[in-house]
Chains A and B, each alone.
Chain A
């Protein structure tokens, strides 16, 4: 006959059937009593069950609650005393309940002045009643949120039990009252009591259980037992909940200047739990894994962010219920002082250390706040034991968490946005912006890197402005698929993201060159990636697009509310891009200006043969300079005109003059006027026809504002087209020579600056009619 025991791991139905026996009922009774004897009826039973607890062998035990009671010292060691102690505790709880759950109408004999419903007197029963009501409401709020995934805790009677126990505890311990988190400590206790009662009722249907068993596992006293266990547990755990500040520096008048360079966890009042969690990180973690410690410090992740919840709830929210019970088995079995908590804490951190080290702030937060599920929780316990006492415990096999980190990055982003009030608000955008600009700078410097790089860079040049670089953007990616491995991408991505965590100061234009060095330093000094392949700085740059595109595809399933943040990030990123490009253009314009001036001077002095052509070319170049600088507005129709290779000058309201007398040196830049600007067909200068001042036909666009967006990205194209235009001149029907009054004033030979058709004013004048839009130059 096969005897099999099956475990029900389904949380939904666990409340009903933790153990399902498939054999006859008589056996179940027998097995129950057998187990009882095995556990409790021998000389050194306490040590035995402790050992079982630590080894996780209580997972399927029918008498887990009894074991816990023993661990928590609710039951004395002496077995003969069990029944007596239990009944004592139960009656005391009943009494407590009676005291605290009051009926304000009962006291008829009290003085009416004190005991009326509106009284705020301390002695008034009504007052107490209202206070109780408030406390109860607070507790109930938390109770309804306990283990929402479990059907068992949705039942009204269970909730009432939880509320009553917590309420009585709060009333018994006035200095602590009720704090959020206590419900999570109570819930598993109630749960295992219930499970044991279920199992017991199954077993006792058949065989007659012993008197002891009957008393201990009496389902009527679930509440009382739960209360007893809970209070005992809280004796250890209560100072984690207390918010008593140890620091005596509570003078509000004195301006307490925080110490400079203080870590966020060190600022603020020192509460017991915070001190504990800090101590775990500063000492234990530092001792066992200094790299992780440094990394967390550098990211300024205060341990109380995640540690508070871990410790206060005894990891209640980090593991699924069955695993949690195993952890608690070990915790309680180990010692009532819950000393193993610290080491389990560290063991949990070590499990995800690789992922943490290679992540940025956002992903780290995501990982820590949503702890990834562990396959074998027992290994964690073993590790914790080993950390505590390496000599006596075996060294466990080290598992590491290796999974797709994008999920955690997203979770981390949620958390970051929730805690925007903290000073961490800025880094998100800055990181994204800086990262993209980093990349842009890198592309400027090394446009044609190794294999895939060439594809990336020029395509990036055109697609860069429209494509948004932030990692989580949902813009369609340029479809460059390199053949790198997935994990390699991720590795790159991790390093990318890590480099984001260093806010990089970007200046304008020139300094973008300097930045390229820092990311590579970052990658070199960074932590190991989990695949261990050495970072390739070259391929890193060009495969960045891949990681972006891949992560983009992965991130396409993000929720709507994230899209707003993404848009924001995109916007800020684009803004940064634009600023950078602007800066670059200005720089180019400036340099061009200088050099063109030089060339012009030399040419004018030289008296060459084909002077005119050169001068026309110079004029074209000056136009380019103006476009870069922003005084001229670049029109898209130029591009089309380029392709047509024709002069299609529609109309020439403004082009009236052919007064291109003047010397050949007159071509200085162009003057902004309030006119339409259709640019340069192929500017032709037959040295024969025109008197060489022929510039292109320009109808100028009045510029609304400097640095308008359409202008800025275009210089790249316009650079090329202008060059082309200047090279292939053609005879225009009109010619206009505009000059830049500002330039005119600067240059020495500022003769013959032709006027615009509209105005008769000389070009030299800084006429207000001419809308020169380059205030920066002034």
Chain B
């Protein structure tokens, strides 16, 4: 059967069916064979249709970006635990504690989950040397310094009154669930221009100069 096809359409690519049926007439030049993969960014023949604007579109855009930002701050955004530091440093006491692998930062209802998934829930106790408030934030310089100062502030308050301690414990519990962080409001609580405080940690891997700068 295949032999019958040979000899026909000499000088041109042979197909198993009659190419006239799909419109390739006799003597038509076929496009050259493709010898390479198609280009990564083929030329755009037509401009894309413009995006519909309008209030709905704008609002949904804002929502999308806001959601993205908010979700990064929630404890559901699981981050790897910080690698162990080589030496214990003085500033560790005042650093915001970084995520650890062996604790979960929120409190799921364990009754609803398989037992094998149960893991220690991170709960910060007062009186520990490692400080408070592990709010997960995208690490930005200013955020770190503000957190530091905030936690120091809290430490002060802790020392001053018993009642306050109670409140803080609750506050941490609550803060773990809070999503938004309104910086301006925070800053109003202190006298210091928080963003100016930079202990130089972020500059290089080993920076031991903290001792000089006052820590309030």
A and B interact physically: no
